[in-house]
Each structure stands twice: as structure tokens, then as C-alpha cells.
């Protein structure tokens, strides 16, 4: 049987991206500033990692307006949600496989 580390997702494994995915996994959709505040990162860092997650097909970015102000909403795609859950399962397996 292969070690659970082999099931870790390279894109998800980056701590900031993992936190963004964790926040998005707890909601249907989050506004950009909400993700920034929840994950406690800067706008530019969030933009950078959100783009990477979008590129991997894990995050969907939706652009719109509230009044006249432009807004961006982020949500996990079904693939992103599955990847996050698999990653969490792999992390749990690593913790459980540790000798006590």
C-alpha cells in the first residue's frame, strides 16, 4: 500500500492555497475581500494564489458589481472540492499513520 503522502495534491499543498480552499470549502461562494480577511493575506497574494487555483481548475472566479463597484466572488469547482477533500483525507492518514 502506498504512503498517504503520494495522495497529496501539489497545488493544494501550498499553505496559502490550502487555506483559501479550506475557506471556500465551507461556503458556496465568498467575496474576494471576505477570503482576504478570513485567510489573513494581502490582496496581491490572494490574487496570485486564486489565479493558480483557477488555472488548476479548482476555483471559479465570478466577476460582477455591487452598485457601481466591481466585485469578484470565488467558489470551489466540483474538482476543487474533491481535491480539497482528498488532500484533507491524505493529511489525516499521515497523522493517523504516525507511530504513537
Partner 1 sequence: MDDPVAAAAMLHQAQQVQDRTFKAGPKEWLVQMAWAGWVLLFIPPFDFVGGEIWGPVVLASSAAGTIVCYRYYLKGYGRVHPLAPKQWRVWLVWSPWYAAWIVFANVFKDRTPVAATIAAVASAAPLLGYALRNRRRAARQ
**In the complex, which residues of this chain contact partner 1 (CB under 8 A)?**
3, 5, 8, 13, 15, 18-19, 22-23, 25-31, 33-34, 37-39, 66, 71, 73, 88, 91-92, 94-95, 97-98
Question: Coil, strand, or helix at residue 41?
Answer: coil
Query: Nearest distance from residue 30's CB to partner 1, in Å?
Result: 6
d(CA 74, CA 87): 20
Q: Read off the DSSP letter of residue 42.
A: -
**Is residue 74 within 8 Å of 35, Cβ to Cβ?**
yes
C-beta of 34 vs 56, nearer to partner 1? 34
Query: Nearest distance from residue 28's CB to partner 1, in Å?
Result: 4
Amino acid at each position: 500500500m502506498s504512503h498517504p503522502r503520494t495522495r497529496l495534491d501539489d497545488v493544494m499543498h501550498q499553505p496559502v492555497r490550502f487555506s483559501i480552499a479550506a475557506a471556500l470549502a465551507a461556503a458556496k461562494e465568498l467575496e474576494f475581500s471576505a477570503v482576504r480577511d478570513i485567510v489573513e493575506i494581502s490582496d496581491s497574494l490572494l490574487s496570485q494564489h486564486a489565479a493558480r487555483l483557477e488555472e488548476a481548475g479548482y476555483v471559479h472566479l465570478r466577476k460582477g458589481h455591487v452598485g457601481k463597484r466591481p466585485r469578484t466572488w470565488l467558489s470551489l469547482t466540483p474538482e476543487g472540492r474533491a481535491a480539497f477533500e482528498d488532500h484533507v483525507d491524505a493529511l489525516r492518514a499521515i497523522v493517523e499513520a504516525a507511530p504513537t
